[in-house]
């Protein structure tokens, strides 16, 4: 059962990061900074080699790491040699993240997807670790196929769907097509997931489908990524909790 009340607080997007102070997104220092302020944590998990879940947003290393290439090619033994260009923090495994947080604040975990058939080893390890974790944790993804599999593998772990406008740059138009983008925007593939919550793009609010989710289905809605005063007002009116970045609530 999803303990909604535990999550109804500001949630720090990829941790409470400030690269200018040497604290980089999705790293231990960013998560510790969020914990110190009592914020929830949102983070990203994607597969390294052999399906090992690691805490990293991008498909490639280049933007943040002194290294090149696909995260999916990194062997476990190589993780110790890689450091973030700013701050020098290592890439955490999902297991290390759970140990670091230790139930101190709620953890909202996005499972990254490239819109290909889900990696069974990767999802199985996430499910195993999340099921054994003693603390508030919830798993979510833009990809309903990922979350349908998580429903089977970890039925007792809270799960959600991330969505939004699905229009413009960065919305995988070439991979999913316009027709499916519309379906995903309107949450039409959510049935097999039986989600406990949704996370919806703040710039796509208000939205009739989210009104339905909250008022009729009675499910909580997070909104991402809140960065401006105007977005904060939208979040307050149309969502139950905000996933924020670039300021402190």
- What CATH number should be reported for the domain holding residue 95? 3.20.20.190
Q: 229: buried, middle or exposed (CB in 10 Å: 19+, 13-18, 0-12)? A: exposed
Whether 190 has a pLDDT exceeding 80, the answer reads yes
d(CA 47, CA 134): 23
Predicted pLDDT of residue 2: 77
d(CA 81, CA 23): 19
In a domain, 59, yes or no: yes
Structural domain total, the chain:
1
Residue 249 domain-assigned (yes or no): no
Here the tokens at position 81 are 């040699």
| Burial of residue 9, with CB atoms counted within 10 A of its CB: 0-12 exposed, 13-18 middle, 19 or more buried | middle
* Average pLDDT of the chain, as a whole number: 96
Predicted pLDDT at 66: 84
Over residues 73-102, the mean pLDDT reads 95
CA gap 79, 71 in Å, rounded: 10
Domain of 141, in residue numbers: 4-244
The closest of 187, 192, 193 to 160, measured between CA atoms, is 193
Mean pLDDT within 222-236: 98
Q: What percent of the chain has pLDDT over 90?
A: 93
Phi and psi of 192, rounded to 5°?
-65, -20
Tell me, yes or no, whether 173 lies in a domain.
Answer: yes
Q: Is residue 132 part of a domain?
A: yes
pLDDT at 1 over 70: no
Q: What are phi and psi of 97, to 5 degrees?
A: -60, -50
- Give the model confidence (pLDDT) of 126-164 as tens digits: 999 999 999 999 999 999 999 999 999 999 999 999 999
């Amino acid at each position: 059962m999803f303990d909604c009340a535990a999550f109804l607080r500001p949630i720090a997007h990829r941790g409470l990061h400030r690269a200018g102070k040497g604290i980089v997104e999705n790293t231990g220092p960013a998560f510790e900074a969020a914990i110190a302020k009592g914020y929830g944590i949102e983070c990203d998990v994607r597969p390294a080699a052999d399906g090992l879940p690691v805490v990293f947003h991008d498909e490639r290393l280049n933007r943040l790491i002194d290294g090149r290439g696909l995260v999916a090619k990194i062997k476990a033994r190589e993780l110790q040699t890689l450091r973030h260009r700013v701050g020098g923090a290592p890439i955490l495994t999902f297991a290390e993240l759970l140990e670091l947080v230790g139930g101190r604040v709620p953890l909202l975990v996005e499972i990254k997807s490239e819109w290909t058939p889900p990696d069974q080893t990767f999802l199985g390890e996430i499910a195993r670790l999340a099921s054994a974790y003693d603390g508030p944790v919830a798993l979510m993804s833009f990809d309903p196929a990922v979350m349908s599999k998580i429903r089977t593998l970890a039925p007792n772990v809270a799960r959600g769907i991330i969505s939004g406008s699905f229009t413009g740059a960065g919305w995988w138009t070439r991979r999913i097509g316009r027709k499916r983008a519309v379906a995903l925007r309107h949450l039409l593939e959510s049935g097999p997931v039986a989600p406990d919550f949704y996370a919806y793009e703040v710039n796509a609010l208000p939205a009739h489908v989210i009104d339905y989710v909250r008022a009729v289905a009675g499910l909580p809605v997070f909104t991402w990524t809140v960065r401006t005063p105007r977005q904060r007002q939208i979040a307050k009116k149309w969502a139950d909790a905000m996933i924020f970045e670039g300021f402190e609530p």
